[in-house]
Amino acid sequence: MPPARAGPTMGGAMAHRIVILGGGTGGSLTANRLRKEYGAAAEIVVVDRDDEHIYQPGLLFVPFGLAEPQALVRPRSKQLRAGIDFRIADVDRVEAGTSTVHLSDGSTLPYDVLVVATGAVLQPEETDGMTGPGWCDRVFTFYTLDGATALRDALRRFDSGRLVVNFVDLPIKCPVAPLEFCFLADWYLRKRGIRDRVDLRFVTPLDAAFTKPAAAAHLAGLLEQKGIAIETEFATGEVDGAGGRLVSWDEREVPFDLLVTVPLHGGAGFIGRSPGLGDDLGFVPTDPATLQSAVAPNVFVLGDAANVPTSKAGSVAHFEGETLVRNVRRFLAGKPLEATFDGHSNCFIETGFGKALLIDFNYDQEPLPGRFPEPHLGPLPLLRESRRNHIGKLMFEWIYWHVLLPGRAMPGISAQMRRRPAAVVTPTKRGATA
Amino acid sequence: MSTMTLAGSPVEVDGEGFLQDPAQWSPEIAAEIAAQNGIADLGERHWQVIDYMRKTYLGTGAAPSMRTLGKASGVPIKELYQLFPKGPAKLAAKIAGIPKPRGCI
C-alpha cells in the first residue's frame, strides 16, 4: 500500500499525489492519461527544468533544410491537460526511502507515486577532445536543436572532402538515426551535384550496421548501394577536431573534414545524486514487463530513463505508457501489477529520395519483413523501402502533438507487438502461403 | 547453456562461453579462459580489472560498463584495450567468470 500522507482531499477521500519528473514524450503522455483516468481524484505534478518541448524526430531533418528548427519546439505546459500542475524546477535528488523529491531551490515534493521520465542526456565532454577545438566548427551533433542548426549551415558550405558520421557507444536515443543521417546526406549531396566529390563514411562501435542481425544485413545492403563506406568495431577514444582525426582506443584513425557525431548518453544528473535510484550510467533499473523501478515499489519509470533492454525511442515510451498507467492505478488501488510490456518498438528509417523503411520489434522478436500494423494488409511494408513509409514518418509529427502526447488511442496500433504469421517469419519464400 | 570442464572443474557456460554461476569460478579457470582468448599470462593489471569486475557484479548484480571500468577500476580505457584486446568489458567479464554484460540496444 502507498504510504499515508497529508494532502488534498476529495469528498473526504485522500487524493493521490503523483509526481512526474520530465515533461517530454513519456512524462507528458503519462500525465495526460492519468489525468483523464483520475480526473480530480489525483493531484498530478509534472516537473521539468524548462518549458520547451522539442519534437526530437524532427532534428534529423534540420541539417538538410527539411525542417525549420523553431517549428519543432512547443511549450511543454501547453501539451498538458487542464488540471495538471506543471512546474519549472531543477531536481536535486529523489529520496525513495521517504518518497520525497528534493528540488534544487531547497523545496520538497512528497509523492504517493513517482514517475521518472527524465530521458537521456548527451555527454560530449566524456569523450576526449570532442568539445575541444573544432567543436561546432567541423565537429557537430544533430542531437540538439542548436547542433542541428549549426550543422545545417556547415553542410551548406561543405562542397568536397571526407564526411564522417559516427556514434561513440550505445545506448543512444534512436539508434537508427546515425544511419538515417548517412542516407539523407547521400541524397542531399547528390541533389547538390557534389556526391562524387565526397567520401561519405559511417563509423560504428558495433560489428555490423545495426544491433539486430536481420535489419543489419538489410541496412548494410543499402549503405553499399549508396556508396557509403562503413568502419565497424571502432571504439572512439578521442576526437581531434583541429587535426581532423577520429582515434579509437586501439589506435586506429579515421580522418575527416566534417564529423557528425552522436556523443555518449547517460541518465539525468539528479539520478546519480539519488540514493539507490540509478545504475552506473544514470539510467534507472526497471522491471522490463511492469515498469516498476528496483529502488522502491512506488517509483515507476518509462522512456529513455529506464534501463530496459529495448530502443530508446519515442515509440517505446508511447507503448510503455499503457502498461505504466495501468500499473500506477493498480498500485494505488493495492492490486498486483500486470507484466504486460513486451519491449515493443517501431521506427521509420528515412533512406532518402522520399522513401523510408519501417521496422517493428520487441524484446524477443527481431525486426523482419511483413506489413504493419495489420500482418497482411499493412498498409505499411516492413523492412522495405517505400514512399508510403516516408509519408508515414512525415505524418507522424502531427500524430505526435495531437494524438500521442494527449494520450489518445491510436486506432489499429496496439501497445503489444502483433505476432507475425508463420509465412513471413519462416525463411520460406515470402507469399508462398499468403 | 551447457557444461564444460575448465581447469579440471565442470562449469555451466552459455553459448559464448560465459560462466553462468560466478561461484563456480576460480583463478585457475580465469587463466584457462584467458589463454583460450589469446592472453597467455594474466598480470597484476589484468587481475586488478578482474577483481573489480567480480566485486561489482557480486555487489550490484550487473557487470560494469566500459565507461565505469575506465573511471573506477583504476585502469584507464586505453590500457584496458591493451590488456583485453577488442572488447575489454566483454572479455574481462568472461575471464572474471560473470555472465555476459547485457548489450545495449
Query: Is the residue at A418 inside a domain?
Result: yes
Question: Is A146 in the same domain as A72?
Answer: no
Residue A47 above 70 pLDDT? yes
Residue A425 above 70 pLDDT? no
Domain enclosing residue B60, as ranges: 2-95
Which stretch of A28-32, A97-101, A226-230, B60-64 has the lowest confidence by average pLDDT? B60-64
Question: Is A323 in the same domain as A196?
Answer: no
Give the pLDDT confidence of B33-61 residue by residue, as tens digits. 999 999 999 999 999 999 999 999 998 88
| Measured distance CA(A95)–CA(A277) in Å, rounded | 9
- Please give the residue that has the higher pLDDT: either A191 or B62: A191
Question: Is A299 in the same domain as A227?
Answer: no
- β-pairing, A42-48 vs A16-21, is parallel
Answer yes or no: do A171 and B102 touch at CB < 8 A: no
Hey, CA dihedral for B37, B42, B47, B49, is it positive or negative? negative
Question: Is A199 in the same domain as A94?
Answer: no
| Measured distance CA(A299)–CA(A303) in Å, rounded | 14
Q: Give the pLDDT mean for A189-194.
A: 98
pLDDT of residue B66: 86
Strand extents, DSSP E, A96-177: 100-103, 108-110, 113-116, 120-122, 139-140, 161-167
What's the pTM value of the predicted model, to 2 decimals? Answer: 0.90
Question: Is A243 in the same domain as A324?
Answer: no
Give the pLDDT confidence of B58-73 residue by residue, as tens digits. 988 888 888 889 988 9
**Of A267, A237, A240, A266, whose CA–CA distance to A249 is shortest?**
A237
- Chain B contact for A168, CB < 8 A? no
Q: What is the dihedral of CA A48, A53, A58, A60, to 10 degrees?
A: -30
Query: Which H or E run includes A86?
Result: strand A85-88
Question: Is A87 in the same domain as A136?
Answer: no
Query: Is the residue at A433 inside a domain?
Result: no
A278 by Cβ neighbours in 10 Å (0-12 / 13-18 / 19+) ranks as buried
- Chain B contact for A292, CB < 8 A? no
| Measured distance CA(B104)–CA(A169) in Å, rounded | 9
| Measured distance CA(A243)–CA(A173) in Å, rounded | 28
Query: Is the residue at A285 inside a domain?
Result: yes
| Measured distance CA(A321)–CA(A314) in Å, rounded | 11
What CATH number should be reported for the domain holding residue B75? 1.10.10.370
Tell me how close the Cα of B105 comes to any Cα of chain A, in angstroms.
Answer: 5
List of chain B residues whose C-beta atoms are within 8 Å of the C-beta of residue A171: 104-105
Count how many Cα atoms sit within 13 Å of the Cα of residue B6 in the half-sphere of its side chain: 25
pLDDT of residue B103: 59
Query: Is the residue at A1 inside a domain?
Result: no
Please give the DSSP secondary-structure letter assigned to residue A284: B
| Measured distance CA(B21)–CA(A365) in Å, rounded | 27
Answer yes or no: do B66 and A169 touch at CB < 8 A: yes
Please give the DSSP secondary-structure letter assigned to residue A276: T
Give the pLDDT confidence of A119-144 residue by residue, as tens digits. 999 999 999 999 999 999 999 999 99
Domain enclosing residue A320, as ranges: 9-119+268-332
Q: Give the pLDDT mean for A411-415.
A: 83
| Measured distance CA(A52)–CA(A24) in Å, rounded | 9
Query: Is the residue at B100 inside a domain?
Result: no
At residue A427 the predicted structure's pLDDT band, cuts being 50, 70 and 90, is very low
| Measured distance CA(A163)–CA(A155) in Å, rounded | 10
Residue A404 above 60 pLDDT? yes
| Measured distance CA(A139)–CA(A153) in Å, rounded | 13
Question: Is A310 in the same domain as A388?
Answer: no
3-state secondary structure of A264: coil
Pick from A332, A363, A383: which residue ends a domain? Answer: A332
Query: Is the residue at B53 inside a domain?
Result: yes
pLDDT of residue A13: 59
Query: Is the residue at A134 inside a domain?
Result: yes
**Of A173, A175, A163, A169, whose CA–CA distance to A219 is shortest?**
A175
Query: Is the residue at B102 inside a domain?
Result: no
Which stretch of A4-8, A57-61, A141-145 has the lowest confidence by average pLDDT? A4-8
Average pLDDT over chain A, rounded to an integer: 92
Contact criterion met (CB below 8 Å) for A337 and A325 = no
Q: What is the dihedral of CA A169, A175, A176, A181, to 10 degrees?
A: -60
Question: Is A328 in the same domain as A315?
Answer: yes
Contact criterion met (CB below 8 Å) for B98 and B22 = yes
Share of chain B above pLDDT 70, in %: 96
Question: Active site residue: B23, B40, B104, B105, which one?
Answer: B104
Contact criterion met (CB below 8 Å) for A20 and A45 = yes
List of chain A residues whose C-beta atoms are within 8 Å of the C-beta of residue B85: 250
DSSP A11-75: TTEEPEEEEEE--SHHHHHHHHHHHHHHGGGEEEEEEES-SEEE-GGGGGGGGGTSS-GGGGEEE
Question: Is A15 in the same domain as A102?
Answer: yes
Query: Which H or E run includes A230?
Result: strand A229-231
Query: Is the residue at A405 inside a domain?
Result: yes
List all residues 6 or more positions away from A305 whose beta carbon is below 8 Å from its beta carbon. A22, A26, A116, A117, A118, A119, A120, A267, A268, A271, A283, A284
Give the pLDDT confidence of A60-83 residue by residue, as tens digits. 999 999 999 999 999 999 999 999
pLDDT of residue A10: 46
Give the pLDDT confidence of A358-374 residue by residue, as tens digits. 999 999 888 888 889 88
Which stretch of A84-98, A203-217, B17-31 has the lowest confidence by average pLDDT? A203-217
Tell me how close the Cα of A249 comes to any Cα of chain B, in angstroms.
Answer: 5
Give the pLDDT confidence of A132-187 residue by residue, as tens digits. 999 999 999 999 999 999 999 999 999 999 999 999 999 999 999 999 999 999 99
Cis upstream peptide for A373 (omega within 30°) = yes
DSSP A381-416: EESS-BHHHHHHHHHHHHHIIIIITTT---TT--SS
Please give the DSSP secondary-structure letter assigned to residue A143: S
Question: Is A129 in the same domain as A261?
Answer: yes
Give the pLDDT confidence of A319-347 residue by residue, as tens digits. 999 999 999 999 999 999 999 999 999 89
What CATH number should be reported for the domain holding residue A145? 3.50.50.60
Please give the DSSP secondary-structure letter assigned to residue A337: P
Among chain B residues, the shortest Cα distance to A233 is held by B86
Hey, CA dihedral for B68, B72, B75, B76, is it positive or negative? positive
Give the pLDDT confidence of A222-238 residue by residue, as tens digits. 999 999 999 999 999 99
Query: Is the residue at A432 inside a domain?
Result: no
Question: Is A302 in the same domain as A353?
Answer: no
Query: Is the residue at B46 inside a domain?
Result: yes
Query: Is the residue at B85 inside a domain?
Result: yes
- Chain B contact for A264, CB < 8 A? yes
For chain B, the straight-line distance linking the first and the last C-alpha, in angstroms and rounded, comes to 23
Length of chain A: 434
Nearest 5°: phi and psi at B27? -60, -30
Tell me how close the Cα of A307 comes to any Cα of chain B, in angstroms.
Answer: 9
Query: Is the residue at B76 inside a domain?
Result: yes
Residue A6 above 90 pLDDT? no
Residue A269 above 50 pLDDT? yes
Query: Is the residue at B83 inside a domain?
Result: yes
Pick from A265, A288, A315: which residue ends a domain? Answer: A265
Query: Which H or E run includes B10?
Result: strand B9-13
Number of domains chain A contains: 3
Contact criterion met (CB below 8 Å) for A273 and A281 = no
Cis upstream peptide for A8 (omega within 30°) = no
pLDDT of residue A422: 43
pLDDT of residue A177: 96
Which residue matches cell numbers 494524438? Answer: A403
Does the annotation mark B104 as catalytic?
Answer: yes
Share of chain A above pLDDT 90, in %: 82
Number of domains chain B contains: 1
Which residue matches cell numbers 496496439? Answer: A414
Nearest 5°: phi and psi at A28? -70, -45
Q: What is the ipTM of this complex?
A: 0.79
Give the pLDDT confidence of A78-92 residue by residue, as tens digits. 999 999 999 999 999
List of chain B residues whose C-beta atoms are within 8 Å of the C-beta of residue A212: 105
Residue A434 above 80 pLDDT? no
| Cell numbers linked to A205 | 562501435
Residue A424 above 70 pLDDT? no
CA separation, residue B34 to residues A424, B1, B47, B63, B84 (Å): 42, 20, 11, 18, 9
Query: Is the residue at A337 inside a domain?
Result: no
Question: Is A278 in the same domain as A318?
Answer: yes
Say which amino acid occupies A349: I
